[in-house]
Amino acid sequence: MKRITLISGLPPSNGGVGRLMQALITSADSQVDVIYPDPQKSESIKKLLLNKRFYQSCKEIYKRIFGGFWYFKLYFMKGEACICIHPQTIGFSLLLRIIKRNIVYLYVMDNSFFCITSYNYDTYNKSECLRCVNFENSPRDTCKSFPVEYSVSENTNFIRDLYEVGFKLRFLCQNENQKKLLNTHFGRDVMAITVGMNTNELGGIFPSRVLSDGYDFIYHGADSLAKGLGYFIEIAQKMTKFSFFIPINKKHCESLINKTIDEVNITFEDCNWETGLKEIVVNSKFTINPSLWSAPIEGALIKSIFYGQNIFVVESEYGFENEIANKFNIERLPVDCNLAVIALNKAMMAYKYDERVFLKRGRELLTFMSSENIFTVVRSDLE
């Protein structure tokens, strides 16, 4: 059995990549080595010594010396089969070295293969952005490297270098539209395999509902304009007769959209899936997952489909939503907020909850999300 090394720049956690890492590690066999950086936060050695915390100082020195061992192991790795996740945190130069010296499968988490912001969102048009695909344009002045703060030149140089070694890579895609986007950027001959993305967050148990206590509309996504936070707030400000919920601190939302939010129909509460958001999704009339980039499989959308009543997404050309909207009876909103408000008003007038539709959709989603073990897929491709 061929040994495989799973490499991630992010450790297991409750974040998107972290949850995937947890699922992959759980499904790995004894022939899979896993390498990721030490998740522990560093402490100031100087401060520890000043406070006479000598034992902790020694531990911190040891951690820094041997915690960085993952980097050196990857630097000298040669001739191995690797699955790499999240180039930004692995490090561009290190990843390129790994690619040149090994057989590399790049699990595509976002669109950093052509976009320096990773989420290809156009801040001018507030929509999906494809201007840098196949190097047709340069990044806008407002585009900043994300989630790691590389310089624009360093990041764009990496994208060009990755393009040059693209023929050596096997891309592991989450969905078919992501594969199409890869083909558009790298060419039709790029080696790409669709493997899905399942973080094992669906329990398979359908929830009970308390329908009278729910909000009219809730936002299910991260604190990001690319994920549609500003879009959702603008809609809420235009539909003051209905209740809206955002699971993010109000001041933080105001800082992101650079405006004060005065509308009383919007409730803000800093919570996540494990601390109350799940119950809010279950009992609210409409859940909106308004990503405004070419989003692949997002955990928030999958959980909304499984646990929510009526689901709305925003139209995109290459997003995962484009593939599954009809299959799971998901409504697609236009990018224009004014047109979206018209559609949502109509939906509210026609609102109903059908338990049979909900249960059928949940069963179909569980079947849809079941996928072959990624390590089995890679080994099969290596043969």
pLDDT, residue 66, reads: 47
| Residue pair 149/155 in contact by the 8 Å Cβ criterion | no
pLDDT, residue 45, reads: 45
Tell me: the pLDDT tens digits for 274-329?
899 999 999 999 999 999 999 999 999 999 999 999 999 999 999 999 999 999 99
Tell me: the pLDDT tens digits for 96-107?
999 999 999 999
pTM of the model: 0.90
Q: Which of the two residues, 137 and 2, has the higher pLDDT score?
A: 137
Indicate if the pLDDT at residue 245 is higher than 60: yes
Please state which of the ranges 69-73, 120-124, 338-342 shows the lowest mean pLDDT: 69-73
Average pLDDT, the chain: 90
Q: What is the CATH number of domain 4-200+371-382?
A: 3.40.50
**Residue keyed to tokens 């561009």:** 92
CATH fold match for the domains 4-200+371-382 and 211-368? yes
Tell me: the pLDDT tens digits for 352-383?
888 888 888 888 998 888 777 999 999 999 98
Residues facing 82 on adjacent strands:
5, 104
The 8-class DSSP code of residue 381 comes to H
pLDDT, residue 58, reads: 56
Local confidence band at 25 (pLDDT 50, 70, 90 cut-offs): very high
The two structure tokens encoding residue 108 = 């595509």
The two structure tokens encoding residue 334 = 């236009």
Indicate if the pLDDT at residue 111 is higher than 80: yes
Q: What is the CATH number of domain 211-368?
A: 3.40.50.2000
Nearest one of 226, 221, 210 to 127, comparing CA atoms: 226
Domain residue extents for the chain? 4-200+371-382, 211-368
Under 8 Å CB-to-CB from 139, ≥6 apart: which residues? 115, 116, 117, 132, 152, 156
Indicate if the pLDDT at residue 65 is higher than 50: no
Local confidence band at 55 (pLDDT 50, 70, 90 cut-offs): low
The two structure tokens encoding residue 301 = 């959308």
Indicate if the pLDDT at residue 50 is higher than 70: no
